[in-house]
Chains A and B, each alone.
Chain A
Amino acid sequence: MDNDKSSLPKWAERFLSAICPEPLYEEIEGDLIEAFNRKKKERGETRANWFLFVNTFKYFRPGILLRNRVRPSANFAIVRNYLLTSYRHVLKDKLNSSFKLTGLTLSLFGLLVVALYVSYQLSFDRYNNDYERIYRVNTQRLENGNVEQYGIAPVAFGHMLMDEFPEVEVSARFDIANGSHIKYKEKVIWGGVFGVDSTWFDIFSYKFIKGTRDALTRPSTIVLTETLALKLFGNDDPMHKLLTINNGEKLFEVTAVIQDIPQNSHIRGEAFVGIDRTQNFSAQHIISPPEFVDNSTVLFIKLRTGADPDVFVFHLERTLDKFVPRKKRNELGFRIFLQPLKDIYLDPPLKYEFTRKGSMVYLYVFTVLGIFLLVISCINYANLSLAGFMNRSREIGVRKVLGGKKQQVIVQVALDTSAYCLIAFAGSILLLYILFPYVQEYIEPNLSFDSLTSGVFLLFMAGIVLIIIFLSTVIPAGWFSANSVTNDLKGIISSGGKMKFNNALLLAQFVISVICIGATLTIGQQIDFIHNKDLGINRKNLLVLTMSEDFTVEKMKAFKASLKTIPGVVNASNSSFRMGGGFWKDWYSVEVGNEMKSFELYEVFSDDELFETLEMKVLQGRVFDAEHKADSGAAFVVNETAVHELGLTKPIGTRILTHPEEPGKWDGTIVGVVNDINISTLHHKVKPLVMRLPWQNSYPEYFVYARIDGDVKVIIEAIKAKYNLLQPGYPLEVHFVDDFYNKEYAKENRAYASLKFGTAVIIIVSSLGIFSLSIYLSVRKMKEFGIRKVLGATAEQITYLHVWHFLRIAAGGALLALPLTFLLMNEWLASFAYRVDVGVETAFAVLALTMLLIIISSSYAAIRAGKTNPVNIINRV
């Protein structure tokens, strides 16, 4: 019959060829066509079509699908052969293979470190049972037109929440300051003692070694951590021993010992006592700012399963209506919001928040770095393995001729890649194990090697390795399975696209490298700037001593006098501010033009030796003089910023006064202008500041600055001894001002260290990659180089040509990456009030560095290519 169909419809063909094993396909197709034609004759076209449709799809069954696999019996021998061949190629080209392996190992190592860090940062507070149901009650107020968010809530909320709210399973308060040293018999030990509700341990899942969770239900009890208990009691049983806190009269009985609070907790303390704050709620606790701060504390709640936090907040607001009308609260901008426990560590800081803070920004930086590392290692590996396999195209051709199938090429490439990946993975873990102490030192001291063995982490890393294997298999496998046998044998890989692809990979690699180099350089500049910026004081050899709270004015006088008798103490001053702590703030009236204007100024009460001790510069006029009785209350010194911001043209002699309710007490003139000093980090701008003597030269506050010169240890010991004579039983807190700054910048320094490390890995991996790739390329292009040489090209020209190939792509990469880097870095620098500018010089430095790296890493192959003897090359087939 002429109207017989001679082939299946296209969809059926595609479907069948996709699911049927190749050797069976022709038979199945033929049988289907034959059966269709028979059906058509017997039953008509419609029935036949339906028959074909049903029968085609019925082939989608295990009996057919599972026949697609390569037979296991044949597999083993072939796999051995694949691995053997790969091994022989490694031996043939030891240098490139080891570079390939080194690159992969290094980037996996970097990735491991990043993954460890990120998982640590994200693990904060998640060790608590039911952490999803735990929230901190925060508040928000409107102050000077700004929304200020506080990490505290009125103390009285504590009872209210437990008693009146069915959604709340348990609530517990945490009191910030409750003492700093604990005394047992004659032994005094430093340790943070915090007041908490007895329910605290129902919210935070600490592990009890001795005693139980209800340890604080009786008054005058204390819970210690293991380390503190060991320090206080050694090997004795701490239970039921009696302690005092801060030299107080009250005795506390040890009723429980807990394991040290995990490192990944945002709140850590050494000891807990019962909270002793039982204020009843009053409207003033919300209305007046100072009363709000005084009568508020950290408050945690655990909601019942299924309770909606929004509904809870709604109920709480409604309860508040009884105390402060909603209208009034709206005026104050007073609002309550819940913050999930797990977010506290990484969220931006709030006012009066007692916590260790992480930084989302640095977490992002790390994550991006990790992704970069992953991408770079994939690109690099894919590029090299592509180049390597191209030189093996004859082998693949022969395999195909001998009956190798498409799938087998894929299996071979995947095996080769997997072998590399697994070796590199093992190598990177070994490397991490060896270098772990350094990782802890430079990146995060609390990382633990153990977390590597956690199931989730292993699963994650296995996923990463699979991604690398997949990405670096797909491309070469794709090329080879698509290439024809004849081309394979001639060593041609469907030419054009191949090179373009290699170049695209290179381009991506350069973009990443340039971003990383640019970021590292800029951050390095900013860090240098921070460390070397003139802070307005000489912070070397400067100590800050913090007195205990009941230190009296008389004692301070005596202490200062005795300090000066210690050899090596050059100067000492007693002032009201702490480095990094901040200044007091008050309203001042200042004469500007001819009228008195009100300004909110930062203030310092200090003796007159402050300027000398900190080595500040007097720019105009004089500083106040304690000998001069009239200076107390009448002589004011301001900083440069105050002069600018207040708009004083002739600051000396300007009238200034504060606390008008005590007329004449604080009323005088500006007698001098000093330079600005930075007492906190460079993230913050210097504020207008006014300094004055305390009333009648009585000593003001708890901070003493001492400029020293000589053997630090001896001097500090001497200072402590003098202090102990005046205030026995209290250890003195001594810090270097320099240490404070270094600690404040620890986050930046760490991020910089990790970025440097990440960039170094990326640069090394890329350089190794370029080195190997340039060798592969030069081998492929040998003939071209030979012909060029015969036609008169010089060795230099050929070298140049070869290097230029890489430089050209790098230039493209830089063009893409530089603006991006610029934007990113400006964003980061914006968090500093004092910062370097990202300029053209940096861009040039990045360019120069990139180019240099390329020239160095590709010139070996290039020079070799230039020197080749054309006779050896050209007559090759």
Chain B
Amino acid sequence: MAREFLGEFEELVLTLVAALQDDAYGAAIAEEIEKRLQRDVTLSAVHVTLYRLEDKGYVKSKAGGTTKERGGRRKRIYTVTTGGMAMLRAMKDVRIDLWKMVPQLKF
């Protein structure tokens, strides 16, 4: 079986799902990306990424509550699965390992 890899944006979204916990849904994730990364993102990109992550089994979703701002429409709350967590952790470890290889210049 070929190993699955995550794209940069996928990793970003997955990390945010993990970070936002019970408040991880499309609009919130998009807002976080805009605020924290100053990066323009369309909602559809976030949604498509979420669905893809769900297909790959890294997140799962359930119907969530509703608020007035969303005109009474229900949210879909995403949570990271064990597999997704393992993936995130593995990627983080690899990054740190690689980072260690970079010569650390001290000033």
Contacts and interface: CB of A to CB of B under 8 A. Distances in A.
Given A30-B70, A59-B44, A64-B44, A35 B51 contact: no
B60 interface: no
Contacts of B47: 24, 27-28, 31, 59, 63-64
Contacts of B51: 24, 63, 67
B69 interface: yes
Interface string B43-73: 1110110011000000000000011111111
A29 interface: yes
B42 interface: yes
Contacts of B71: 4-7, 29-30, 33
Given A28-B47, A58-B45, A35 B68 contact: no
Contacts of A59: 43-44, 47
A35 B67 CA distance: 12
Interface in A1-55: 4-7, 24, 26-35, 37-38, 54-55
A464 B31 CA distance: 53
B44 A4 contact: no
A27 B48 contact: no
Nearest to A4: B69
A322 interface: no
B74 interface: yes
A34 B27 contact: yes
A61 interface: yes
A54 B42 contact: yes
B48 A63 contact: yes
B43 A55 contact: yes
A61 B44 contact: yes
A730 B51 CA distance: 91
- Chain A interface helix/strand/loop/mixed: helix
B69 A27 contact: no
A27 B74 contact: yes
B76 to A, nearest CB: 4
B74 A34 contact: no
B30 interface: yes
B68 to A, nearest CB: 6
A26 B48 CA distance: 15
A505 B105 CA distance: 85
Contacts of A30: 27, 66, 70-71, 73-75
B27 A61 contact: no
Nearest to A28: B47
A35 to B, nearest CB: 5
A29 B74 CA distance: 9
Contact of A31 (B52, B68, B70, B72): B70
Interface in A57-83: 58-59, 61, 63-64, 67
Interface of B (DSSP majority class): helix
B30 A4 contact: no
A51 B44 CA distance: 12
Contacts of A64: 44, 47-48
Contacts of A63: 44, 47-48, 51-52
A70 to B, nearest CB: 16
A33 B72 CA distance: 10
B44 A34 contact: no
A33 B73 CA distance: 9
Contact of B73 (A26, A55, A67): A26
A50 to B, nearest CB: 12
B68 A4 contact: yes
B84 interface: no
Given A27-B75, A27-B76, A30-B75, A37 B69 contact: yes
A7 B70 CA distance: 8
Contacts of A67: 51
B71 to A, nearest CB: 4
B15 to A, nearest CB: 19
B30 A35 contact: yes
A54 B43 CA distance: 10
Interface string B66-107: 111111111110000000000000000000000000000000
Nearest to B31: A38
Contacts of A7: 71
B69 to A, nearest CB: 5
A24 to B, nearest CB: 7
B69 A28 contact: no
Contacts of B27: 30-32, 34-35, 38
Interface in B13-40: 25-27, 30-31
Contacts of B67: 34
Contacts of B45: 58
B69 A31 contact: no
B80 to A, nearest CB: 18
A26 B69 contact: no
A810 to B, nearest CB: 55
Contacts of A6: 68, 71-72
A31 to B, nearest CB: 4
A54 B40 CA distance: 12
A674 B6 CA distance: 104
Nearest to B67: A34
Nearest to B66: A30
Nearest to B73: A30
Contacts of B44: 55, 58-59, 61, 63-64
Query: Which of A7, A26, A31, A33 is packed against the most chain B CB atoms within 10 Å?
Result: A31
A67 to B, nearest CB: 7
> What are the 8 closest A-B residue pairs judged by CB atoms, nearest first?
A30-B73, A63-B48, A6-B71, A31-B26, A31-B27, A30-B70, A27-B76, A34-B70
Given A34-B67, A59-B47, 17 more contacts: A4-B69, A7-B71, A27-B74, A30-B27, A31-B25, A31-B26, A31-B27, A32-B43, A33-B71, A33-B73, A34-B69, A35-B27, A35-B31, A55-B42, A61-B44, A61-B48, A67-B51
24 contacts: A4-B71, A5-B71, A24-B47, A24-B51, A26-B74, A27-B47, A27-B74, A27-B75, A27-B76, A28-B43, A30-B75, A31-B27, A31-B43, A31-B70, A33-B71, A33-B73, A35-B30, A54-B42, A58-B45, A59-B47, A63-B47, A63-B51, A63-B52, A64-B44
Interface of A: 4-7, 24, 26-35, 37-38, 54-55, 58-59, 61, 63-64, 67
